[in-house]
């Protein structure tokens, strides 16, 4: 069986809502923007797992919370990549010396458990982030225009104190550029971001993530800003990185087309929760959740046949500060029933590895994702 590299369980990210003075007189109750409100999934070794959903549904916040670039409010994030070993050893040694666990317990935890990302202190989290990197959407804004490409890519090495001297760092930068397909690296190294094309800029972003030799990448809309004609080059680059370096990806996109061709499994997110999750091809060809069905039906297509059965949902961008009771999709659902307004649907498996949260579906209850495997 393929190992997990990451398990996310009941992840919550709630932002406190700032209330006006008048309002604070009326009610003392703190209100929350529930950007991520109980998200669970796992990512296997070398897997590309994709989160898809409308703007504001919590995709980016999920990605950031995994790396603790925003602090989760609740839930678990467990990391199983090779990179966990030294960190976990240190943590367990601490715990043993403080008498919190016995040596035997520690050894057992080391052998079977994942690294509890949320329990890491700052310094260790920073070290873990060398193994878990994030690439952002905008190849224009995320690169400092005043830095040469060399400096941009060497920076994380300097910050993390990696590489004994400049020569060694240069070797790593050259390697990262080469891995990101900017060849020959010497041609690109001394240019500035505005002196390369949009696609090349996105490659610079990827090189910047690769230079620390990560095991796991969060790619947040990495191709959305690029012209269609060069998107698949970047997607293929990421596939190659998976092949050659064994990278696993959390790929975030609002573009179902890209998710379809690129990912192994897909999670459809709505208002802070995953409502359907399964193998990509199955979810796209046999969607079960009404929201998934609607999303797929509205992807523009040149084929008039395909256009007939569009499910165009009314309204837009539901408010994470005001989550409807029952099924959170019910105000927009074309199939809404009485029960949907009262009770949140539980996730059920509709086939192996494919679960849905909707009262219309029946099946064995899913406890997504599967609990940690006991040895």
Ligand X SMILES: Nc1ncnc2c1ncn2[C@@H]1O[C@H](COP(=O)(O)OP(=O)(O)OP(=O)(O)O)[C@@H](O)[C@H]1O
Chain-centroid distance of CA 345 in Å reads 24
Query: Does residue 242 contact residue 217 with C-beta atoms inside 8 Å?
Result: no
Query: Does residue 182 contact residue 207 with C-beta atoms inside 8 Å?
Result: yes
Which of 42, 60, 263, 292: binder of Mg ion (CB under 5 A)? 60
* Phi, psi angles (nearest 5°) of residue 2: -75, 135
Packed helices 198-210 and 166-179: angle between N→C axes, nearest 10 degrees: 130
> How many residues belong to the site for ligand X (CB under 6 A)?
13
60 touches ligand X by CB under 6 A:
yes
228 touches other proteins by CB under 8 A:
yes
Which of 8, 35, 120, 347: binder of ligand X (CB under 6 A)? 35
Closer residue to other proteins in complex, CB, 245/307:
307
Query: Binding string to ligand X for residues 231 to 270, with x set by CB under 6 A, is what?
Result: -----------------------x----------------
Query: Binding string to other proteins for residues 324 to 343, with x set by CB under 8 A, is what?
Result: --------------------
175 touches other proteins by CB under 8 A:
no
Q: What DSSP line would sit under 57-124, residue for residue?
A: SSHHHHHHHHTTSS--SEEEEEE-STTHHHHHHHHHHHHHHTTSS-HHHHHHHHHHPPEEGGG--HHH
**What does DSSP say about strands 248-253 and 48-52: parallel, antiparallel, or unpaired?**
parallel
Q: How far apart are CA 72 and CA 79, in angstroms?
A: 15
Residue with structure tokens 């061709």?
261
Residues numbered 195 to 214 that lie near other proteins (CB under 8 A) are: 197-199
Closer residue to ligand X in complex, CB, 60/202:
60
CB-nearest residue to Mg ion: 60
Long-range Cβ contact pairs of 293-302 (< 8 A, separation 24 or more): 294/334, 295/52, 295/256, 295/268, 296/256, 299/256, 299/257
Q: Give SS3 for 247.
A: coil
The two tokens of residue 316 are 């837009």
Query: Which among ligand SF4, other proteins, ligand X, none contacts residue 345 (Cβ within 5 to 8 A by kind)?
Result: ligand SF4
Closer residue to ligand X in complex, CB, 215/221:
221
Query: Binding string to ligand X for residues 291 to 330, with x set by CB under 6 A, is what?
Result: -----------------------------x----------
What is the contact surface with ligand X in residues (CB under 6 A)? 15, 33, 35, 53, 55-61, 254, 320
What is the contact surface with other proteins in residues (CB under 8 A)? 54-55, 197-199, 227-233, 235-236, 239, 254-258, 260-262, 280-281, 284, 294-296, 298-304, 306-307, 310, 312-313, 316-317
């Amino acid at each position: 069986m393929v190992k997990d590299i990451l398990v996310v369980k009941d992840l919550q990210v709630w932002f406190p809502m700032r209330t006006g003075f008048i309002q604070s007189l009326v009610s003392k109750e703190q209100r929350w923007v529930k950007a991520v409100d109980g998200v669970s999934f796992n990512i296997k070794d070398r897997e590309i797992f994709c989160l898809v959903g409308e703007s504001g549904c919590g995709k980016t916040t999920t990605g950031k919370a995994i790396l603790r670039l925003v602090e989760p409010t609740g839930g678990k994030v467990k990391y199983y990549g090779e990179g966990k070993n030294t960190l976990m050893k240190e943590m367990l040694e601490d715990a043993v010396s403080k008498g919190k666990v016995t040596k035997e317990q520690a050894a057992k935890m080391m052998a079977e458990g994942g690294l509890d990302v949320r329990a890491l202190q700052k310094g260790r989290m920073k070290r873990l982030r060398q193994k878990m990197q994030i690439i952002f959407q905008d190849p224009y804004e995320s690169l400092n225009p005043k830095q040469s490409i060399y400096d941009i890519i060497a920076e994380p090495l300097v910050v993390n104190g990696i590489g004994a001297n400049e020569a060694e760092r240069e070797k790593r930068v050259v390697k990262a550029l080469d891995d990101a397909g900017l060849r020959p690296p010497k041609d690109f190294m001394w240019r500035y971001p505005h002196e390369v094309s949009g696609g090349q800029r996105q490659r610079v972003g990827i090189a910047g993530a690769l230079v620390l030799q990560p095991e796991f990448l969060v790619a947040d809309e990495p191709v959305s800003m690029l012209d269609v004609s060069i998107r698949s080059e970047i997607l293929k680059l990421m596939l190659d990185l998976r092949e050659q370096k064994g990278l696993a990806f959390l790929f975030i996109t609002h573009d179902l087309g890209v998710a379809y061709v690129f990912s192994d499994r897909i999670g459809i997110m709505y208002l802070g929760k995953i409502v359907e999750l399964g193998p990509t091809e199955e979810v796209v060809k046999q969607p079960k959740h009404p929201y998934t069905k609607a999303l797929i039906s509205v992807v523009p297509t040149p084929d008039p046949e395909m256009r007939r059965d569009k499910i165009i949902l009314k309204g837009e961008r539901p408010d994470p500060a005001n989550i409807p009771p029952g099924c959170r999709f019910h105000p927009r659902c074309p199939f809404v029933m009485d029960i949907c307004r009262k009770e949140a649907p539980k996730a059920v498996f509709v086939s192996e590895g494919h679960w849905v949260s909707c009262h219309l579906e029946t099946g064995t209850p899913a406890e997504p994702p599967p609990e940690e495997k006991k040895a």
